[in-house]
Chains A and B, each alone.
Chain A
Amino acid sequence: MFEKLEAYLEEISHFLSGREERMEILSEIKSHLLEKTEQEHGKVTEASIEKVIAAYGPARRVAEKYMDGHQIIAPAFRRYLFRYTSFLFAVHLLITAVAVIFTKSFLVFPFLFVPRMGVFEAIFYLPTAFLFDLGVVTLILYFITRSKKEIQLPWPKFAVDLDEVKRPRRLILSGLGFVAMLGLTGFALVLYIRYHAIFFVNLNFPEPRLFFTPEAGKWFSLGVIATLAVGTIALFVKLFASSPWVDAVQNGISLIIVGCLFRLPLDNAIAISLPGRFLHQIKFSLTFILFFISVVVAIDFVKSLVVIGRKGLAKQRQER
């Protein structure tokens, strides 16, 4: 048997479902490729079959042609994915807030379980809750799509109108963003001036428990405040001049700050006393968060550089 052909068929088979149907499709493709090779190249060899395979197309594209019309979620329901996920997450958020405020757990078997938790745990719990909600809605819409029945999904009329609300203009968005960031930076600054830190384990003001040790907390807090301040200044500048350079400079400075935070030693940086295993997990989470932020900022940084480059090229072409 021909190795290239076997490898190609195996690659296609990974994308296809249903054993019998898969075998049938692969047999037919194999028959076609061998026949074509023989007709066009005289003899079937590894080299000749490779050329025919290349002309037939990449395995994924070939497999996708068999899936044409098979959708995970029908286009008509795609909007419902975001509608229902937002709704479910809003409910989840509300119950989480109640669970945090009243320190109680909630169970609506088998749909929802919100454990008793503090503010810190809630921050980590909510992204998971969002993914869970998205998964549940996706699964339901998938089964509805598969049923191929004419189903009218419920959604109130006023909410449909809300969907159609025009997006505010860029300037208004920048203005709102600037005000929000200014407030956030100011709040962080006030906290820092008062407590020399902005990370706390609880919110028992005026004597909250610090998350980091004083020295580590100082640098982590200053790093976050500086990043917020840079974001605020960038949004302020954008009110008057929209340029990709603003994003590039903002992201460049943010990357340097995140890079500096990365260099801070995490050993003996956590002020709360926890068993070693939990401490290790918290350190790992912190490193992961910093890494995630740096990746997002780096992507944005590269994107703004690409925009600058593209604009430069377009300008050069115009000048010619």
Chain B
Amino acid sequence: MDPEISNFETEMNRGFLQILVLALLEKEMYGYSTVRTIQELGYEVEENTLYPLLRRLEKNGWIKSKWDIRKDRPRKFYSITDAGRALRAELLGFWKKQDKILKHLVEEKSHV
């Protein structure tokens, strides 16, 4: 892929991934299972990008985490907080607005 296009894709993905994670973490999940779920949804995510994102969301209080050490391998589980739900609603609002504008523009162009 053209490096310029790849840069655009990375920028667009950043915002989308945040909404996606906030939507997924309604159910408690650990890092690896989140990666797998996202991949099963047909979306490519770099694992080394997801963990820093989870960390940022947690630092801002939008998600919370806890270590589960009951099994032989410790796992860090994440879930959304009330502040995260409010943020998700706002982000979805932005996304719908952007989607509407783009659809309108594309349709307008196809009529010309």
With a cutoff of 8 Å between Cβ atoms, the chain A residues found around residue B52 in the complex are: 65-66, 68
Pairwise interchain contact A39-B48, C-beta atoms closer than 8 A: no
A218 CB–B CB distance under 8 Å: no
B95 CB–A CB distance under 8 Å: no
Pairwise interchain contact B51-A28, C-beta atoms closer than 8 A: yes
Pairwise interchain contact B55-A32, C-beta atoms closer than 8 A: no
Q: CA A56 – CA B56 in complex, angstroms?
A: 19
Q: CA A307 – CA B97 in complex, angstroms?
A: 49
With a cutoff of 8 Å between Cβ atoms, the chain A residues found around residue B49 in the complex are: 65
Interface residues on A, range: 10 to 19
Q: CA A35 – CA B34 in complex, angstroms?
A: 12
Q: In residues 11-65 of chain A, which contact B (Cβ within 8 Å)?
A: 25, 27-29, 31-32, 34-36, 39, 56-57, 61-62, 65
What per-residue 1/0 map shows which CB atoms of B18-31 lie under 8 Å from chain A?
A: 00000000000011
Pairwise interchain contact B48-A28, C-beta atoms closer than 8 A: no
Contact of B48 among A27, A31, A65, A69 (CB under 8 A): A65
B99 to chain A, nearest CB (A): 26
Pairwise interchain contact A32-B47, C-beta atoms closer than 8 A: yes
Task: Kindly report which residue of chain A lies nearest to residue B59, judged by CB atoms.
Answer: A21
With a cutoff of 8 Å between Cβ atoms, the chain B residues found around residue A34 in the complex are: 73
Task: Kindly report which residue of chain B lies nearest to residue A29, judged by CB atoms.
Answer: B51
Q: In residues 56-108 of chain A, which contact B (Cβ within 8 Å)?
A: 56-57, 61-62, 65-66, 68-69
Pairwise interchain contact A39-B51, C-beta atoms closer than 8 A: no
With a cutoff of 8 Å between Cβ atoms, the chain A residues found around residue B48 in the complex are: 56-57, 61-62, 65
With a cutoff of 8 Å between Cβ atoms, the chain B residues found around residue A27 in the complex are: 74, 76
B94 CB–A CB distance under 8 Å: no
Task: Kindly report which residue of chain B lies nearest to residue A56, judged by CB atoms.
Answer: B48
Q: Point out which of A28, A57, A62 has the most chain B C-beta atoms below 10 A from its C-beta.
A: A28
Pairwise interchain contact B73-A35, C-beta atoms closer than 8 A: yes
Q: In residues 1-42 of chain B, which contact A (Cβ within 8 Å)?
A: 30-32, 35
B63 to chain A, nearest CB (A): 14
Q: CA A31 – CA B30 in complex, angstroms?
A: 10
Q: Tally B residues with Cβ within 8 Å of A.
A: 16
Is chain B's binding surface mostly helix, strand, loop or mixed?
helix
A57 to chain B, nearest CB (A): 5
Q: CA A27 – CA B51 in complex, angstroms?
A: 12
Contact of B55 among A25, A31, A39, A56 (CB under 8 A): A25
B85 CB–A CB distance under 8 Å: no
Q: CA A27 – CA B75 in complex, angstroms?
A: 9
Pairwise interchain contact B74-A31, C-beta atoms closer than 8 A: yes
With a cutoff of 8 Å between Cβ atoms, the chain A residues found around residue B31 in the complex are: 28, 31-32
CB-CB under 8 A for A31 and B76, given A36-B32, A39-B32: yes
Pairwise interchain contact B74-A32, C-beta atoms closer than 8 A: no
With a cutoff of 8 Å between Cβ atoms, the chain B residues found around residue A56 in the complex are: 47-48
Chain A interface (Cβ within 8 Å of chain B)?
25, 27-29, 31-32, 34-36, 39, 56-57, 61-62, 65-66, 68-69
Assuming A29-B51, A32-B35, what are 16 further A-B pairs, CB within 8 angstroms? Answer: A28-B51, A31-B30, A31-B32, A31-B74, A32-B32, A35-B75, A36-B47, A39-B32, A56-B47, A56-B48, A57-B46, A62-B48, A65-B48, A65-B51, A66-B55, A68-B52
Which 3 A-B pairs rank lowest in CB-CB distance, beginning with the nearest?
A65-B52, A35-B32, A66-B52
> Can you give 30 contacting A-B residue pairs, CB < 8 Å?
A25-B55, A27-B76, A28-B31, A28-B51, A29-B51, A31-B31, A31-B73, A31-B74, A31-B76, A32-B32, A32-B35, A32-B47, A34-B73, A35-B32, A35-B75, A36-B32, A36-B47, A39-B32, A56-B47, A56-B48, A57-B46, A57-B48, A62-B48, A65-B48, A65-B49, A65-B51, A65-B52, A66-B51, A66-B52, A69-B56
